[in-house]
Amino acid sequence: MALELAKQTKDKEVASDLFDALTSSLEHAYFEAVTHEQLVLAGYLVEKFPKELVNTIPETSAVLKELGYREAGTPGKWQEALSDLEERLHVLVEKYGKRGRVLGIGHGHIDTAWLWPFTETEKKVARTFSVVSTLLDREPEFHYIQSMAL
């Protein structure tokens, strides 16, 4: 959510502070299930790497190591990163104050008879609402919205 807020806000100072907080916090944890090829592709998509590197993926491991990429870590590192991010976000709340409330809303879209028989739609509706019902029981603050094709 912090990343999405940083991308969506029109306040460049807030965005910069959020990106800095995320970057610093993620230094505590390493991506274990992401290959260096995936990082190169992601970097290309966000214009962090020159396009010519995408065509020479085997030669990029030295560049990735130079940029600080590590392939291994421990699960405890993720909790450390989350705790660090939480502290940094509290500092930003003190700096900027509370400017609103972010609300996550679960969403289910049901096409009543898309490319499957109506009986399959009935199963999908039952599964969707079963999951939603469970989430509502577990978390009273859970919000959900339903849509369907007309």
Segment 24-67, tens digit of pLDDT: 888 877 655 556 655 655 665 555 555 555 555 555 555 555 55
- Nearest of 74, 72, 91, 71 to residue 24 by alpha carbon: 91
pLDDT in tens, the chain (150 residues): 788 888 888 889 998 999 899 888 888 776 555 566 556 556 655 555 555 555 555 555 555 555 555 554 556 677 888 899 999 999 998 998 877 777 788 888 887 767 778 888 888 889 999 999 999 999 888 889 988 866
DSSP character for 148?
E
Q: Measured between alpha carbons, how far is 148 from 108 in angstroms, rounded to an integer?
A: 8
How many CA atoms lie less than 13 Å away from 33 in the CB half-sphere?
1
What's the predicted TM-score (pTM) here? 0.45
